[in-house]
Amino acid sequence: MSSTSLAERPARPRALAATRSLRLDEVSRTGVCVALVGATAIHGTVVTHHFQQWPPAGIFFLVLQVLEVSLAVAAVYAWGPRTAQAVVLTGFATVLVWLLSRTLGMPIGPATFQLPEPVGVPDLACCFLELGAAALAAPMALMRRPAQTRIARKTPTPTVSRWSLVLAALVGAIALVATGWGLGPAMSGSGHATHAHASVTR
């Protein structure tokens, strides 16, 4: 009797920690999913424009859209360290490409691509969404898979608390607001969607 209760004592803190971790995962997964879908929507407004300038650039944005949608679906149905790592890598890689195109210009492509582009509101909104998704995914990305597996086997799946639902809704709402902030100028014909590369002769 005493040995059983002694064995249960250290298990309770682990169970509580696992419960809190799983509830935070609900928040992270919601934010990651909405942020990636928002970034995909904004990227969709520039595909045609980049195809007209340079077809490989348009293909790049199409591939990026497919990747971000796939990661958004994986955040809901296949959430784990590998999915989170892919979200972090994709987010940072995309933002780095954007920074390069706005500061030094792209090292490949037509001459106009090798000049810095202007910064627009949709650009900033997209970077916010991608970095936000990466930040939300970072804790899971750094988690060790064996430890997560052991916790999942020893503890039942907890009921999602009202607090976690409210926080998930708040994170999702912020991502939606950022999406609308970026899509507004893009759909109205200003900013990211219709920006033109600087002329080589200027």
* pLDDT tens digit sequence for 133-173: 999 999 999 987 654 444 444 444 445 567 777 888 888 89
pTM metric for this prediction:
0.77
Amino acid found at 44: G
Please check whether residue 128 is in contact with residue 95, taking contact to mean a CB–CB distance below 8 angstroms. Answer: no
Please check whether residue 85 is in contact with residue 141, taking contact to mean a CB–CB distance below 8 angstroms. Answer: yes
Q: Indicate if the pLDDT at residue 11 is higher than 60.
A: no
C-alpha span between 103 and 152 (Å, rounded): 46
For the stretch 104-117, pLDDT in tens is 999 988 888 888 99
For position 13, what pLDDT does the model report? 52
Amino acid found at 151: I
For the stretch 166-191, pLDDT in tens is 888 888 899 999 998 888 887 776 65
Angle value at C-alpha 80, between 43 and 142, nearest 5 degrees: 90
For position 114, what pLDDT does the model report? 85
CA distances from residue 2 to 6, 9, 10, 13, 154 in whole angstroms, order as listed: 6, 11, 14, 18, 21
